[in-house]
Structure 1
Amino acid sequence: MKKETLFFIFIMIFSVNLFSQSKYISEKEEEKKKNTKPFFSLPGVKEKIDTEDIIQKLLYVKQIPIEQKKLEAEDYKIENSIIKDFSGYLRNLDEKSRKLFDYQSPFREMEGVSPNPDLIEVFATRKAKKQDYNIKINQIARPDSFASDSIPRNKVLPPSEFTVYLGKEKIPVIFKGGTIYQLYETLKEANPGLLDVRIINDTPTTAILVITGKKTGKENKIYFDGKLDVLLEIGMLTKSQEKKFDKPIYFDNVNVLSGSPVITKTAVSLPENTLIEKPLKENINENYFLSLDFDINYFGAEGERKSYFTNENGELVLMEPVQISNVVVSGGSLILDIEEKPKEVISNFIDYIVLHFTNGEKFTLQFQTNGNFKFSLEKFNKNQIEKITIENKNTDREIKVANVRIFSELEERKFTPKNPITKACDAIFELDGVEIKRDKNNIDDVIDGVTLNLKGETTSPIKVSVDYNYKKIEEAILDWIDAYNKTMEYLYILTEPNLDKTPLHERKPEDLKKGIYQAENSFISLKNKLRQIPGNSYKTDYGRELTVLEQIGIYTKRTGTFSAQSDEWTSAKMGLLQIDLEKFRGVLKTRLNGVEQIFANDLDGDLFKDSGVAVNISQSLKTAIGKGSFIEMKIANNERKIREKEKDVEEMNKKLAEYEIELRKKYGKLNQALMESEAKQKWLNNQFKNND
């Protein structure tokens, strides 16, 4: 017992001396411990002993290497977070580089340009070709749309059961009777995908019902069948008043401008080089057509025609005798000692008939075969024919035109819209002089890769263009420069010389990355490669005139001198790129292929880009990002070290726990011995007092 007591006394004295100067416990904590922890007096020692404090200080000594391991692991974690952040910049640069030469390349992006988007919009895909087009919009496609009369809102309408037809689509409607609002709800719910039904309160007490088809085109007319009482009562429909129109065109009043035509009332025959004009004042309405019979009669063999040339022996042929009244003049030698040139032969003229309108428009009818022909005059709706000209410029045929008439084709409808707003019609437009019809205004099947959106009629052709999308190319280049500069600036910070060896966990945020890889060859090598690539020359179609980035306005530093303290010098020192946008845009407009080839070019013709700034940057980044890259290996190595440090900490914490248990056992015995000693001391003191 005495040995154990002496051992613990030694430990306590040693502990008190070792930690007497400790600065790790605050005054408040000290005060708290005095009030909550047991204290014991040691015989011969004035100060009381805090055994819990001694235990904590002994444990603290053991915790120091554990904390060191934790901080080492923390440094590796900080380093990995920096590497991963930097890797994001590299991946962004790789992505922006690839976009300049892979399937997303902006150099193949096209755009449509319209001088008047209110009349026509042009949209182009990558399939489109750079080209200009002249487009004249004679008519845009419209749906059927019509309104009712103004109907009192509280008027009770009779029930009706009918069918609404939109082209070939059938929409059954059952109206049980009620106000115009209830009819509106019924029609609206019938088929919202095909019909647009609206109600307009035109006065405080009345309303107008409007029905519009959601499909445009001549074939998508709206008509009704069934019990139509309610539609007649609200003035949506009325009895049809339309009549068919049929007017023959006679040739009893024509102007012969050249040639010798043969004219009858219903037909005209035109030999070679003949032109006639038929004055006509006829208004054209919807569904009007022109029909006629057309025949071509080719002349016989050329041998049947007589002309004056040299004979087979090269001798001039004498003129034939000519009889004038009762005098015969015999032929003699030709007066002119020259050969007569052959008559010019024309056999490719086909613009035989032209309709002239009062507004200056013309409608040319071409023929190459015989037959009966019918032409729609729909695009000239509400116009007036001023005259018709018929011409034959061919020298090898005569033509015959007969049975010309203008007529209308009306659908036989018992009821028609009373208040039409628009009539269903096709879009009619001319593309470079060729007439085209479509049942919609959004047209994507006329020009490969181009969509036309017709929005209004024009009186003359509008010149629209499909060109390269220079704005997208510029944006892609600027994005690439931004990604490149951010990467180079990051690399400069990581590799700049820095004598500060402060552990990462103790650094300020602004100094965290400085020089941490200043001695890492892989990072330094990557920086040098990326800096060198934009300064290299590249082969283009323009030879020496266009081989480097500086020639298109992109540079690290301008030629010449500048102050070492200037921002330009700081930027150049980091290897950052600048751009002269005015110069770049000028070169891009005039030498787009050359600009593309500087960034990405296919030198061996295998359809894969193998040269250029963007291509070389992407290839150089393979060593830094992706599978097997030095950054991946660096992260993996740090993660391995982190696991090792954390494992060490775990094992050391287990030993620390065991050590604490052992200390508490020993100090528990010491506490017990001290309590017994204190009790005996008190007993002895009491005995001495009693004896006194």
Structure 2
Amino acid sequence: MSDISIPGVTNKYNTDKIIKGLVNAEKIPLTRMERDRDTLKKRKTVWQDLNRRLSTLRDDAKQLYGFQNPFEEKIADSSDKTVLTAAATRKAPIEEKKITIEHIATADRFMSASLSKDFKVPSGKYGFKVGEKTIQFNFRGGSLKNLAEIISRKGRSLIRAEVINDTPNTEIVTIEAQKTGAKNRLFFLDKSIDFGLKAGILKQTGITERDIPLNKYTVKPWETSLKENTYSISDGVLTLNPLNELKIPISPPFKLNKNMALQFKLKTELIPEKKQEEIKPPPGPALPDTGEINFKGIRIRNEKSKVILPQWKPPAPSIRVDDMQALFMDSKGTLFPLEKITDSEDFKTYSIDIGNLAATIDSFNIRNKNTNRRIIIKDIKILDKTSRGKYVPSHPLSQAGDARLTMDGIEVERSSNNIDDLIPGVKLTLLAKSDKPVTLKIDKDKDAIKNSIVSLVGHYNQVITEIDVVSRRDESIIDDAQYLSDKEKDEYRKKLGIFSGSLTMLQLKDSLERVMMNPYRTEGGRQLSLLAQMGISTDTRKPGSSATLDRTRLRGYLEIDESKLDSAIAAHPGWIKELFGYDTDGDLIVDSGVAYALDTTLKPYVTTGGLIATRLSTLNSQISRKKTEISNYEDHLKAYEADLKYKYGKMEGALETLQKNSQALENLGGNNNKQ
């Protein structure tokens, strides 16, 4: 009902004020309900915050003893990160490797001559090949930039081209394969060949390679004669037996340039050593019996003859010889030792740069000084590494080549600088050639272990602070928590003591403190069974270092002695792993340890259907009921206020009528008196 306002009457009786006072009096239960609702909401927020902190602490605990625990994380550290970097996974072995990088994998990158900016590229079908992959496209003619753009667009991850202004009036184009390795050489196809010749990228060359056949006519004696069992040849495969040598003449001698290489496939066959029989000294000459006589029944034997033998010296035992310098090149009587061979059961491809050794090669010589190793070789050829069929690059900026490195004395070749199949669980990245061996150390990731432990301790302290704040009315708890920001302290003050005297909170804190203080079984025994023994306790100060009582150390917060923790992790990472999670009965399931006990303690609180979830569900129901109760009472207040306004309106109307009647009577009485 709308408010009634009667000038001269409403103000006179002040009914609005009376109604407001009555409504406010009736509103007192609503204020109490709203206060109860806000308290329930605050309790809900506190339980949610505690649930979040407990869940985070439990996650930290599970990480320290679960499948992905940091104790199995590995890190690979290179002594020269400008040459070699590495990344290790959990499967990597703990070891140290010496790696020498002789050559990193490279890709073909060719440059043109300096060309005029009005140089026009003719139209036609262009093609390029990198390794086994080919791109081809039709070009309708245009500038160098037009061609470079279409090469890069079509080539994507295979080939790329770029135009650079080398002078204000000229430009050059570079064409680069995007894959490294000798098998990924760049070839020009179709119209690209004509363009390459015209732009000065390619040039024609003469004879760039020669195959060296292997048969009984091409093998000749070197310094010693060839015997029947010196070697054997079958289907182009030469086998040189131990302690023999031979040479393979190159006739006519092959002229070399700086890009020439000698290429072949070679393997070795190890011969088991025979057990040497024991050599005994010679027995000496056999002497006849000296005889005997009988004299008056007495038998007399002659003394045996004696032979003085010279002192016997056993022959020297055969000595095993291992000589891997077996390959040589002869040029006009000068002998050049080539790359040492390595043992391999399968054929290994060798590519030896010989172009800088001499002007020609006259013969390929093999000397097998080994006593227990056969050398088997095939597919010998001399070639120009830069050759692309009949063409070679005129201005090679780099040329396709494999990465070559030596690890612990073993030679390795790969087509890429990213190598993940050499050391299990380790990916190597080659960056540059090394002048000396680079030490690669694979070890446990101690920083990951430390960070996980520090995170657990930090979140544990936050939980203890949370419990203390909500269960006690001591504001110094908040002031002493130095890690809290001013904003966080203000938020904590709003929920200070909201669960004061709560048995649940006190039991939770007591359980957590016992978990962190209890001893646990490890292989280290008494040397490491407590967190305090690795630098984690409520007071890390040395005994007698300070007599001052620090009340914060009485609240159960944990401190970390970092130097002691670092030493423990470095010395006994296995024991520390067991301290947080240990399988005591050998069933491959962790059943002891700090992290395991924390997880077990917190599980009933934070899991679905657990204590906190039940409390939140109860609070949600209470809040919902309280909201309904408030809504109903608000409706009651609205009806009550409307009823008051209606009744007081009627009262004011009656007063108005009485006032009018009274005035009429007074007027009537006045008129009668005048008469």
Contact 2:204 2:390 in 1 (8 A): yes
**How far is 1:374 from its partner?**
8.0
Query: Which residue of structure 2 aligns with residue 645 of structure 1?
Result: 626
Query: Which residue of structure 1 aligns with residue 484 of structure 2?
Result: none
Give the root-mean-square deviation of aligned CA atoms: 4.4
SS in structure 2 of the partner of residue 430 of structure 1: strand
Q: Is 1:540 the equivalent of 2:522?
A: yes
SS in structure 1 of the partner of residue 604 of structure 2: coil
Contact 1:199 1:208 in 2 (8 A): yes
Contact 1:522 1:630 in 2 (8 A): no
CA distance in 2, matches of 1:203, 1:129: 54
**How far is 1:184 from its partner?**
2.0
Contact 2:120 2:141 in 1 (8 A): yes
Contact 1:139 1:379 in 2 (8 A): no
CA distance in 2, matches of 1:192, 1:645: 66
Q: Is 1:145 the equivalent of 2:105?
A: no
Query: Which residue of structure 2 aligns with residue 490 of structure 1?
Result: 466
Equivalences, count: 613
Q: Is 1:455 the equivalent of 2:455?
A: no
Greater alpha carbon shift after TM alignment, 670-679 vs 152-161? 152-161
Query: Which residue of structure 2 aligns with residue 156 of structure 1?
Result: 120
Q: Is 1:192 the equivalent of 2:156?
A: yes
Letter in 1 for 2:183: E
**How far is 1:334 from its partner?**
5.9
CA distance in 1, matches of 2:376, 2:623: 98
CA distance in 1, matches of 2:266, 2:603: 74
Contact 2:220 2:246 in 1 (8 A): no
**How far is 1:474 from its partner?**
1.1
The two structures have a TM-score, normalised by structure 2, of 0.79
Q: Is 1:364 the equivalent of 2:345?
A: no
Query: 1:232-631 maps to which residues of 2 (within 5 A)?
Result: 232-241=197-206, 243-244=208-209, 262=225, 285-289=259-263, 309=280, 315-316=283-284, 333=307, 335-336=309-310, 340-341=313-314, 343-345=316-318, 349=322, 351=324, 353=326, 363-364=340-341, 366=343, 376-378=350-352, 390-392=367-369, 394=371, 407-408=382-383, 413-496=389-472, 510-557=492-539, 558=541, 560=543, 566=549, 569-631=550-612
SS in structure 1 of the partner of residue 65 of structure 2: coil
CA distance in 2, matches of 1:300, 1:531: 70
**How far is 1:618 from its partner?**
1.2
Contact 2:82 2:431 in 1 (8 A): yes
CA distance in 2, matches of 1:444, 1:244: 34
CA distance in 2, matches of 1:295, 1:596: 47
Query: Which residue of structure 2 aligns with residue 173 of structure 1?
Result: 137
Query: Which residue of structure 2 aligns with residue 94 of structure 1?
Result: 58
Contact 2:209 2:384 in 1 (8 A): yes
**How far is 1:87 from its partner?**
1.4
CA distance in 2, matches of 1:447, 1:355: 33
CA distance in 2, matches of 1:263, 1:295: 21
SS in structure 1 of the partner of residue 576 of structure 2: helix
**How far is 1:140 from its partner?**
1.5
Contact 1:352 1:366 in 2 (8 A): no
Query: Which residue of structure 2 aligns with residue 11 of structure 1?
Result: none
CA distance in 2, matches of 1:308, 1:642: 103
Contact 1:318 1:334 in 2 (8 A): no
CA distance in 2, matches of 1:637, 1:398: 83
Identity rate, percent: 25
Greater alpha carbon shift after TM alignment, 667-676 vs 156-165? 156-165
Contact 1:37 1:50 in 2 (8 A): no
Letter in 2 for 1:627: T
Q: Sort the Cα spacing of 1:562 and 1:441 in 2 relative to 1 into closer, same or farther, 3 A.
A: closer
Contact 1:554 1:577 in 2 (8 A): yes
211, 226, 231: which is aligned to 2:196? Answer: 231
Q: Sort the Cα spacing of 1:380 and 1:684 in 2 relative to 1 into closer, same or farther, 3 A.
A: farther
637, 652, 655: which is aligned to 1:671? Answer: 652
Query: Which residue of structure 2 aligns with residue 50 of structure 1?
Result: 14
**How far is 1:450 from its partner?**
0.8
Greater alpha carbon shift after TM alignment, 485-494 vs 428-437? 428-437
Q: Sort the Cα spacing of 1:644 and 1:380 in 2 relative to 1 into closer, same or farther, 3 A.
A: farther
**How far is 1:624 from its partner?**
2.0
Letter in 2 for 1:407: I
Q: Sort the Cα spacing of 1:318 and 1:402 in 2 relative to 1 into closer, same or farther, 3 A.
A: farther
Letter in 1 for 2:383: S
Q: What are the superposed Cα offsets for residues 605-641 of structure 1, whole Å, 9 maximum, x if unpaired?
A: 2222211111111111123222343222222222222
**How far is 1:417 from its partner?**
2.1
Contact 2:329 2:337 in 1 (8 A): yes
Letter in 1 for 2:457: I
Q: What are the superposed Cα offsets for residues 270-294 of structure 1, whole Å, 9 maximum, x if unpaired?
A: 998899999xx99984542257999
Q: Sort the Cα spacing of 1:472 and 1:650 in 2 relative to 1 into closer, same or farther, 3 A.
A: same
CA distance in 2, matches of 1:126, 1:299: 41
Q: Sort the Cα spacing of 1:39 and 1:639 in 2 relative to 1 into closer, same or farther, 3 A.
A: farther
Letter in 2 for 1:602: D
Q: Sort the Cα spacing of 1:626 and 1:193 in 2 relative to 1 into closer, same or farther, 3 A.
A: same
Q: What are the superposed Cα offsets for residues 375-428 of structure 1, whole Å, 9 maximum, x if unpaired?
A: 51347885789997835353xx89899999873377661333221111112222
Letter in 1 for 2:664: W
Q: Sort the Cα spacing of 1:662 and 1:486 in 2 relative to 1 into closer, same or farther, 3 A.
A: same
Letter in 2 for 1:236: I
Greater alpha carbon shift after TM alignment, 112-121 vs 281-290? 281-290
Letter in 1 for 2:641: E
Letter in 1 for 2:562: L
Greater alpha carbon shift after TM alignment, 114-123 vs 410-419? 410-419
Contact 1:285 1:378 in 2 (8 A): no
**How far is 1:191 from its partner?**
2.5
CA distance in 1, matches of 2:269, 2:286: 39
**How far is 1:592 from its partner?**
0.7
Query: Which residue of structure 2 aligns with residue 684 of structure 1?
Result: 665
Contact 1:38 1:50 in 2 (8 A): no
Contact 2:121 2:143 in 1 (8 A): yes
Query: Which residue of structure 2 aligns with residue 208 of structure 1?
Result: 172
Letter in 2 for 1:515: G
Structure 2 residues not aligned, in runs of 5+: 233-239, 249-254, 288-305, 476-488
Q: Is 1:103 the equivalent of 2:67?
A: yes
Q: Sort the Cα spacing of 1:379 and 1:576 in 2 relative to 1 into closer, same or farther, 3 A.
A: farther
Q: Sort the Cα spacing of 1:112 and 1:56 in 2 relative to 1 into closer, same or farther, 3 A.
A: same
Query: Which residue of structure 2 aligns with residue 16 of structure 1?
Result: none
Q: What are the superposed Cα offsets for residues 437-466 of structure 1, whole Å, 9 maximum, x if unpaired?
A: 222111112221111111122244322121
Contact 1:39 1:51 in 2 (8 A): no
Letter in 2 for 1:316: G
**How far is 1:593 from its partner?**
0.4
Letter in 2 for 1:441: N
Q: What are the superposed Cα offsets for residues 51-101 of structure 1, whole Å, 9 maximum, x if unpaired?
A: 232222222211111121111111111111111112111111111111111
Contact 1:350 1:367 in 2 (8 A): no
Q: Sort the Cα spacing of 1:517 and 1:453 in 2 relative to 1 into closer, same or farther, 3 A.
A: same
618, 640, 645: which is aligned to 1:659? Answer: 640
Q: Sort the Cα spacing of 1:433 and 1:49 in 2 relative to 1 into closer, same or farther, 3 A.
A: same
CA distance in 2, matches of 1:114, 1:300: 44
The two structures have a TM-score, normalised by structure 1, of 0.77
